[in-house]
A and B are shown apart, each in its own frame.
Chain A
Amino acid sequence: MAYDPADLKLPHWLLRSLDALVAIHIPLGFGWWVGFTRPGIIFIAALLGVWAAALYSGNNLLYLCGAMMTAITAAAIVQAARLLKRFPDLGPLLPLLQVNSVTVLRKYTDLQEPASAVVGIEWHCVEECFSLRGRCEGDRVRLEGKMKPQSRGIYRCSKLLLSSDAPLGLFLLALERRGKGEVVVMPEPAVWNPDGHNGNNLSGQQLNGGDEWLDLRGYVPGDSLSRVHWRKASGDIREWKVKRFASEMERPHERLLRVDLRMPAGASAAAFERLLARVWFWVLEQGSSGQLILGQDSFDLGNSAQSAALQRAIAAAHPESLPASGEGGLLLTVSDDS
């Protein structure tokens, strides 16, 4: 905001009073709130003064001035209301998140009506609240923000709180909309290898073995940064490549992973989470080949139609009472091996 009464070098007590007024949000019903910005309070004070003078004097030119300023106020509020009401749903735009990782959101979508505004977005769910920002530039909006979920799961939006002081920066209008959409939060992948070693304990030297790397695979969150091929890396993390060495390639790859979701007696919830973290690492490393049996459900990694279902299953997994179905392959169980 480029115009703030603070620029007028107002006394401190007056600015504090303005801020006290700015903090007031007046409920209008049906999920709407209205408040004022600092210049908005000055504007409203001027408007009240004009109306007082007009009503006191009966001067019709003052009536015209007051009507003009009121029309500007009403138009600003109506424009903001239309913007918030027609603001696109965020559900389809939200990416796959990962526990304890910051996901930077920067996506474009279309607006129903052109606007030049910044919209504050609070995406509330039972577990958390994500604060985002929608930057409306003409007929499209750029969603920006950082999301860092604290726990795994499928977050269903309980309410969406949109607020904006567009188009004039005078009035802050907020709308609480019924939440739509959900965001899938995956566990933080834990590096491991099928020989039973925890990947985190393997040093780069052991893997490299002094060898040249044989080929590259896509980067998976959790991969050691020392294995990233930085000369081929760009700013986009999706294009990062990780070196694969001869010692890794020689190991036979197990294409079937069976995950037993039963909780042994005395096992902690953290152990269950570690299990899922390994599963997720395995899925990411496998790419598009392999089969995962998660408890009673089976997923073919090569079937892209099942990939969303697989992600949701891992994100929403909870301890079961039955052993993993199927036979053969690699079996993962909950273990306190931290």
Chain B
Amino acid sequence: MTPSLLRAERLTLAVLMCGVAALALSDFVSPFYWLLSTVATLFRLWRGPSLQLSEMQASFVGWFGFVWVIFELFLGRALVVAFTDFLLILAFAIVVEAATPRNHLHRMLVGLFLLLAGAVLTDSVLYAVPLFAMMWFLWRAAACLYGMNLPGGDLPAMPLRHEVRWMFLMLAATAVLFVVLPRFEFHSLLKPAQPRMETSGFSDLVQLGDFARSLDARVAMRVEPLNLTPAGINSFRKWTLGRYWRGAVLSRFTGSGWQKVTAPRQSHLGAGEDLVFADGEAMAVALYREASDHSYIQIPQGILRIRDLPQGIQTDEAATVQFSRAPSRRLRLLMDVAWANTPEAAQGPQRWEREQTHIPGALRNWVKPYAANSADQVQVLARISAELRGWTYDLNAPIDSENPISSFLKLKRGHCELYATTMALAARTLGIPSRVVNGYLGGDWNEIGDFLQIRHLHAHSWVEVWVNGRWKRMDATPASRSGLLSLSFPRFDQLWESVKLGWYRYVLEFQNSDRVNVIKALWQSIRVYGEWLLSALLAAAVVMLLWRYGRAIRLHFPAHHGGTLWPVLDRWLTRRGVLRAQHQPLRDTAVPEGVSPESWERFVCKWEAQSYGRESLWKKHDLKRHLRALLKTTDTISSNVLR
């Protein structure tokens, strides 16, 4: 195999593997299938093209993949997963196929197609790696294939330094095109999708005990202020402290859990519309929501409005906000928030928020002593809340799943869901309408990216009770919960989350409106850092000029350089019995002792070549090396002659 063929083989394999890597980032893809292609590629690179199947055999592998995927579909595999399986089996067949021109073309086309499929099936920040690697390898592979089989032989490859310069230009062009081109969102079918993240507690039917039982550190939402000045960030950070994010509202107690009762009246809003809760002085924030298996939008305390809804939503009388269907991709929600506004429920309590049918007897008995000495039920409820807050927060309390409330009352330990349930049922026992709200509380602050991260472990459950003609939030969970959840994450994790947020903000969610912001930010940066930028440009220009004309400048001042090397050479010549006059060129001096005339002639030629700029100038150690070589060569010749 010629070097060009070997290069083409490696480069086209690299193009294909970039595509495989892009698709492998998708959560839809089974690791087995992408590992198949990867291992085959590594094996092929190791063993060379001797490991190959004929075109016919490879096409059989492809057809087998097709039949296999049909079989998988019959077994119930999701269509999108089966599709990615087929693509990767195809990639495997192409990897092991004989390296013909047709195979090279196959590799490049399939690699590109896999990259495009990856653009729809993943939104990972790591997608940038195969994308830009593809740019490099596609360029090199195409250039290599172009230069092959030409009359007069294959063309040599371009030097890497030259290609790298062009690669930077292409990267810059890619960035400019990405920013400048307009966005027209006609349809979201081809938006980057991902499997919805599994959560608990945000469905319309929740069993006691399946909510936040373990500390899941996966991030559910990232929230950042749009005002990125230090004052804006500080203000936002204060705002996030102890903030409740309201999600599912569950009103009917089933005895073993809670159920949402679908409100008879719901209002719908379409994509692009604004959802307004109240007016007032607002702080604009952006919430990046991961794709979850539930459709609830977490509404923070102090919400004023949600602007430019990315998908259609529905709201009900309990002031819950849901997407019409759970989105299968990450979404950005632009919110205006204030310090203290709470979304008001449109209506008073419903009959199912007063139901006492499934309240366990143990709880009624437990409430009785608190209610005995007071006629003010609200005070009683406050005392119950205080009592509960004195108990122990424990995610792994051995709760009896048959009688969870009785078990909880006996153990006096449990998680927030049990506290909220107990509180809500106690309120109903006292005749106060109540309901349980599932959402998030708090979050951790990312010091690097200056934004709030809300993880699954921040999921929380609390109660809303109807007091004095309005719904009032009561949280009976012990304060030890916040201590338990105040985990510190390593700096690397914070950095990685910042990178992800940057990817979502500047790449995935880049919109027409962001273009103006980018230009404004650039202009602002130029204004602020203009002097530094100018200095850097001038410095770069000077360095480039020196780089380009350095040799000429050095030749312009030969005395300095000659002054350093001539004495060394003269000393060496003196030791070898030659005394050179200062004006005497080296060519006119006698041949030093112990040096053959031929070697000396070659040395003089080299000396002149570097002196007159045909070759790079010698330094002191270069001269010494040449002088040593001169003696060595002469010695070798002498010894050969003696033999």
Contact = CB atoms under 8 A, between A and B. Distances in A.
A115 interface: yes
Nearest to B163: A167
A144 B145 CA distance: 22
Interface string B128-158: 1001101100110011011111111001111
Contacts of B181: 63, 67
Contact of B191 (A59, A67, A117): A59
B interface bracket (residues with beta carbon within 8 Å of A): 35 or more
A74 B172 CA distance: 12
A114 B158 contact: yes
A2 B145 contact: yes
A63 B174 CA distance: 9
Contact of B159 (A72, A114, A133): A114
Interface stretch (B316-324, B507-515, B530-538, B540-548): B507-515
Interface in B152-210: 152, 155-159, 162, 166, 169-171, 173-175, 177-178, 181, 183-192
Contact of A57 (B115, B142, B185): B185
B146 A62 contact: no
Contact of A167 (B104, B108, B158): B158
Interface stretch (B68-76, B116-124, B285-293): B116-124
Instruction: Specify the main secondary structure of chain B where it touches its partner.
Output: helix
A71 B186 contact: no
Interface stretch (A48-56, A181-189, A286-294): A48-56
A170 B145 contact: no
Interface in A200-257: none
A1 B149 contact: yes
A118 B178 contact: no
A71 B192 CA distance: 22
B104 A61 contact: no
B331 to A, nearest CB: 13
A327 interface: no
A9 to B, nearest CB: 8
Given A5-B105, A61-B508, A135 B190 contact: no
Contacts of B120: 59, 61-62
B95 interface: no
A166 interface: yes
Contacts of B123: 61
A152 B150 CA distance: 34
Contact of A2 (B8, B169, B188, B192): B8
Interface in B466-513: 507-510
A2 B101 contact: yes
B146 A60 contact: no
Contacts of A71: 135, 169-171, 173-174, 177
B186 A57 contact: yes
A319 interface: no
B147 A116 contact: yes
B127 interface: yes
23 contacts: A1-B149, A2-B146, A7-B105, A56-B184, A56-B186, A57-B186, A58-B183, A59-B191, A59-B192, A61-B123, A63-B181, A67-B173, A68-B135, A71-B169, A71-B171, A72-B135, A114-B162, A116-B157, A116-B158, A118-B155, A137-B156, A168-B146, A169-B146
B190 A56 contact: yes
A63 B138 CA distance: 18
A128 interface: no
Interface of B: 8, 100-102, 104-106, 108-109, 112, 115-116, 118-120, 123, 127-128, 131-132, 134-135, 138-139, 142-143, 145-152, 155-159, 162, 166, 169-171, 173-175, 177-178, 181, 183-192, 507-510
Contact of B142 (A9, A67, A169): A169
A1 B508 contact: no
Interface string A144-169: 10000000000000000000011111
B158 A115 contact: yes
Contacts of A116: 143, 147, 155-158
A64 B181 CA distance: 11
Given A118-B150, A144-B152, A65 B119 contact: yes
A30 interface: no
Contact of B116 (A50, A137, A170): A50
A245 to B, nearest CB: 42
A75 interface: yes
Contacts of A42: 109
A65 B127 CA distance: 11
Given A8-B102, A71-B174, 14 more contacts: A2-B104, A2-B148, A7-B105, A39-B105, A42-B109, A46-B109, A59-B120, A59-B190, A60-B507, A61-B118, A61-B508, A62-B120, A63-B510, A75-B139
Contacts of A39: 105
Given A1-B146, A169-B146, A61 B127 contact: yes
A58 B105 contact: no
Interface in A1-29: 1-5, 7-9
Given A70-B173, A70-B177, A71-B177, A61 B119 contact: yes
Contacts of B510: 60, 63
A64 B174 contact: yes
A316 B510 CA distance: 69
Contacts of B189: 57
A79 interface: yes
B148 A64 contact: no
Contacts of B139: 72, 75, 168
Given A1-B145, A2-B149, A7-B102, A58 B178 contact: no
A79 B175 CA distance: 19
Given A57-B186, A58-B185, A7 B101 contact: yes
A138 interface: yes
B160 to A, nearest CB: 12
Contacts of B145: 1-3, 169
A50 B109 CA distance: 13
A56 B162 CA distance: 37
Contacts of A79: 166
Interface in A110-148: 114-118, 133, 135-138, 142, 144
B28 to A, nearest CB: 15
Given A1-B145, A57-B190, A72-B135, A62 B119 contact: yes
Contacts of A3: 101, 104-105, 108, 142, 145-146
A138 B105 contact: no
The residue in B128, B134, B149, B170 that gathers the most chain A C-beta atoms within 10 A of its C-beta is B170
Contacts of B112: 46
A256 to B, nearest CB: 46
Interface string A21-45: 0000000000000000001001000
A167 B147 CA distance: 8
Interface string A296-310: 000000000000000
Nearest to B132: A68
Given A1-B145, A61-B119, A75 B102 contact: no
A58 B188 contact: yes
B119 A64 contact: yes
Contacts of A135: 150, 152, 155
The residue in B119, B162, B190 that gathers the most chain A C-beta atoms within 10 A of its C-beta is B119
Contacts of A142: 152
B191 A58 contact: yes
A8 B105 contact: yes
B156 A56 contact: no
A167 B148 CA distance: 12
A50 B104 CA distance: 21
B120 to A, nearest CB: 7
Contacts of B178: 60, 63-64, 67
